Amino acid sequence: MALYYAPEPGDNEAALARLYSVRESIDNIDAALVHLLAERFKFTKFVGRLKAEHGLPPADPARERVQIQRLRSLAAESHLDPEFAEKWFNFVVAEVIHHHVEAAEAVGERDEASDADAAPASEDIEP
């Protein structure tokens, strides 16, 4: 059945059945997007920990610029507004950077705790 179904005038039952069917497809796509975002964040959190452990900055503006251009092109090819794709990407990247900052802070706290554990107690230091 074509996606753009036009029921006969007065055929509300058929129109509602088609509406519910299309909405079910939309709901399935929304669920898939949520699952894909969850997978994406698993990888970006790993990247954040890796950056933090090696003292790399949370953000990578050069990579972000390349990604924006790539996604704008993909959006245009897919008949999606490139501006929307860029806004979506910027929204996701802001959350990713937030996670990366948290990872860096966690590594810093862990390092501080290790330094405190490694330092001798004042009573262990001979005058």
Cβ atoms of residues 116 and 106 within 8 Å: no
CB atoms within 10 A of CB 42: 9
Report how far apart the first and last C-alpha atoms of the chain are (Å, whole number). 88
Mean pLDDT over 87-108 rounds to: 93
Task: For residue range 29-84, list pLDDT tens digits in order.
Answer: 999 999 999 999 999 999 999 999 999 999 999 999 999 999 999 999 999 999 99
As a whole number of angstroms, the distance between CA 89 and CA 97 comes to 12
As a whole number of angstroms, the distance between CA 7 and CA 9 comes to 6
pTM for the whole structure: 0.71
User: Going from the N-terminus, what domains does the chain have, and what CATH number goes with each?
Assistant: 13-115 (1.20.59.10)
Q: Which two tokens stand for residue 41?
A: 């964040």
Mean pLDDT over 88-114 rounds to: 88
